[in-house]
Structure 1
Amino acid sequence: MSWRRPLLSAAVLIPLLAACSAAPQAAAPPAKPAAGFPYTVTNCGVRHTYQEPPRRAVTMNQHVTEIMLALGLEKSLVGTAYLDDAILPAYEKAYDSVPVLAKEYPSKEALLAANPDFVYGGYSSAFSAKDGRSRDDLGRSGIATRLNTEYCPTGSPSVDDLYREVRETGRTFGVPDRAEAWIRQARATVAATEKRLKATRPVSVFVYDSGDKTAFTAGGKGIGNELITRAGGRNVFADLDKAFGDATWEQVVDRRPDVVVIYDYGSTTVEQKKKRLLDDPALKDVPAIRNHRFAVMPLSDTVLGVRVPAAVDKLAAQLHPAAR
């Protein structure tokens, strides 16, 4: 039996010696922050610091969805909701890869089921407190939020605000170079339209969004007002201190617009809206009605999103066809 003892000792000693001779394990180095992070931004009064890009974003409203798609961020989206009309053809394939959470706004439960770490709303209604989706509510659930700056409580949004919207979204998601490339192209488009309109005189414009007893129209506080100005028009309801609001038909008659711009969306067609205006005897002497001067813009072209630069050019072509 004596031959077994040295072998047994060796069997015990070898792993002990190996353990003693092994170098101590160094602590793993802390993860290196992504380039451009941490990033702090204040949006509509809400300040947030991002340590890294959001990975599970949800967009609510078409124009902010299209901002994300224009920046090539569809893989960062785990859900989207609420289209006003068809998505831009350039973004259709990317859009089709993103789950649609609801035809309009999702319930709080449906939103949370997507497990987002970021929610991007286009209109203030996206963050409805009565539906449990306020920015404070979502923040308490650990979800960062952004509201399109057109619906911040103060200020009159401009094309420069669009550039800031795209820039800040690009920074938030770690793609600032894509944002700056988009901004350069957008500036070039707007500048080309401005150059073409240099010798034209502004025409007066009434926006007809909807309404029967009153006219729901574009006021002076939304990007729609700036779009009209840059397209060579003058919004006759620029004194309305909001993005959209009601005007009386008597005011429309008194302000005598040269052109009616019809916003195209929803179940009421452009032709139905035209008929309502043309059939109203009270409007028969309004120059735009008398001369059948109508322009048409999809609603999604008239909010603070990536369609604005091209929309300025499209509206300019309708207000000043001789300047093409």
Structure 2
Amino acid sequence: MTRHRGTALVVAAITASVAAGCGAEVESAGEAGTVTVDRCGEPVEYTTPQRAVAYEGGSADKLFALGLTDHVHGYVMPPANPPVEESPWASEYAEVEFLSDDLLNRELVVDADADLVVAGWNSGFSDQRGITPEILDELGIQSFMHTESCFNYPGHPEQVTPFDGLYTDLERLGRIFGVEDRAAEVIAELRERVDAVRSQVPAGDPVPVFLYDSGTDQPFTAGNQVPPNDIIEFAGGRNVFADLDERWTQVGWEAVVQAEPEVIIILDYGDQPAEDKIEFLRTSPITRELPAVRAGNFYVMNYNEGISGPRNVDGLEGFAEYLRTLRG
């Protein structure tokens, strides 16, 4: 039973229309001001940004959901991301500048005259590529890191569950931009949707679920520090690698076989279609006898539902519906 998410798009579109209709509530956000907000575990003083740059869909989505399109100069969208035209915030993306389809780098941010960069630690910001919050601080450019990515941030680690990280980011961004009321509304809406899903989880043992990100020699999967872990749990499943205190991590196929997953989530992104990943699992002598593969229990999850952002809740709703159908 291969299932691509469908109804979740409708819910996402409704959420986007609500956000788009709240522009009048954030017009005052442009007034200059300063506020101290934690960046991971470090208190940082922020001045209200006017030319924010967002890296990947999750960053931009958080800003757009808060009605901050007028404060976003542009976005960097590497090829792994699905087309922005498919986003529930497609009209907001169209209003700001597409800066690059490359990885985040310092020259790009400087050339854009950015006054805030929103990204994750090791998913945007990187020691290896020479773009870190500390480096940007020295350049006079503010930065904001996804709380979900902070647990291994050097010097100022912060560890929360992934969905709590999403709510924390929206609250902190609301304070930085002076739209606390709007942030509270968005968080309340998301929490209500999550609670509705959790109240409908069927009785019985959680279904063992393996998330397949990529990799043939060894698979990449989701540990307990990324949104799919919460998505799986809240929908009534059990991430078979929930004991790994990691974000996206590599495991061995032997561990996957031993876990005997009954459902496999395929994270859909990049230049390898989800159908190709499914075909690999069906034909590989290592995986073709997995319970999920024998039963054809594949669920295709959009990339932007798997990384930290408001669309995590769309992913939860879609996957929970799939599990309910499977059990029914």
Summarize the alignment of residues 263-302 of structure 1 with structure 2, pairs less than 5 Å apart: 263-302=267-306
Q: 1:49 aligns with which of 37, 45, 51?
A: 45
- Please list, as runs of the form range in 1=range in 2, the aligned pairs for 1:1-324 lying within 5 A after superposition: 38-50=34-46, 52-83=47-78, 84-87=81-84, 89-152=87-150, 153=152, 154-321=158-325
Instruction: Note the alpha carbon deviations across 1:130-170, whole angstroms, 9 max, x for none.
Output: 33321111101111111111110242433222111111111
Relative to structure 1, is the Cα distance of residues 220 and 178 closer, same or farther in structure 2, using a 3 angstrom cutoff? same
Structure number with larger C-alpha Rg: 1
Shift of 1:216: 0.9
Residue 54 of structure 1 aligns to a residue whose secondary structure is coil
Percent identical among aligned pairs is 33
Gap change, CA 1:156 and 1:177, over 3 Å in 2: closer
* SS across alignment from 1:283: coil
Question: What's the CA shift for 1:273?
Answer: 0.5
Q: Do the aligned partners of 2:37 and 2:175 also contact (CA within 8 Å) in 1?
A: no
User: Post-superposition shift, 1:304?
Assistant: 1.6
Corresponding residue of 2:155: none
Separation of aligned partners in 2, 1:123 and 1:222: 13
Q: Which amino acid aligns with 1:45?
A: G
Q: Partners of 1:323 and 1:288 in 2: how far apart? A: 13
Distance 1:162 1:110 in 2: 26
The Cα of 1:313 is off from its aligned counterpart by 1.0
State the distance in 2 between where 1:110 and 1:283 align.
42
Letter in 2 for 1:64: S
Name which of structure 1's ranges 301-310 and 102-111 shifts more when overlaid on structure 2. Answer: 102-111
The separation in 2 between residues aligned to 1:199 and 1:240, in whole angstroms, is: 26
CA distance in 2, matches of 1:199, 1:315: 16
Q: Give the TM-score, by structure 1 length.
A: 0.84
What is the letter of the counterpart of residue 310 of structure 2? V
Report the TM-score when normalising by structure 2: 0.83
Where structure 1 has 5 or more consecutive residues not aligned to the other structure, the ranges are 1-32
Q: CA RMSD in A?
A: 2.1
Deviation at 1:319? Answer: 1.9
- For the residue of structure 1 that corresponds to 2:224, the secondary structure is coil
More displaced 10-residue stretch of structure 1: 40-49 or 92-101: 40-49
Query: Is the contact between residue 67 and residue 166 of structure 1 (CA under 8 Å) also seen in structure 2?
Result: yes
Q: How many residues align?
A: 291
CA distance, structure 1, for counterparts of residue 255 and residue 128 of structure 2: 35
